[in-house]
Amino acid sequence: MKTFNEIIQKSSDSYLESCIYKDNRVLLRVNLDEIDKLVELSINTNHLFLNIPESTEIPYRTCFFELLELKNILKVSNGIYSPASNFGDFMKEKRDNLNLAYGLRSSQFKFLFSLIGSEKLVSFVISDISDIEFKFYPSSAKSN
């Protein structure tokens, strides 16, 4: 697997082992069940949302990856992401963590990356896909 898009395609039924945020860097360790590998993702960002369950039980941390191109979803005014003017659309953007991009320059921040389980576990805004560094290791998957 050479590209991040390939990782996203193989991320169904993944398991979030850990998430560490320190010095504007997120370090995620995720077991990719489909390819039986552990991937370690490292991302520089300070625009993030974390909702990691305390429980390490499989149902609580099972997830998949999602990468959204912000310019295709959010309103842009004067080169800045802004909230929807309709209250219902605004609340949907908030539930989807798109509000992380409000006030940011659309030319600088282009993507929202999330790990999604029964709800969003982790979301963050990044400038480019190449900002996500990844390494593979042998799987350390939990058994059911």
Note down the domain range covering 63: 4-138
Helix/strand/coil for 9: helix
Is residue 144 domain-resident? no
State the first-to-last Cα distance of the chain, in angstroms, to the nearest integer: 26
Residue 64 · residue 116 · CB < 8 Å: yes
Query: How far apart are alpha carbons 144 and 140 in whole angstroms?
Result: 13
Q: What is the pLDDT of residue 4?
A: 83
Domain membership flag for residue 143? no
CA distances to 32, 80, 83, 112 from 128, rounded to whole Å, are 22, 17, 22, 10
Task: Give tens-digit pLDDT for 26-48.
Answer: 999 999 998 899 999 999 999 99
Which pair of structure tokens corresponds to residue 73?
Answer: 């979803």
pTM of the entire structure?
0.90
100 within domain boundaries: yes
- The domain total for the chain is 1
Q: Label residue 104 by pLDDT band (50, 70, 90).
A: very high
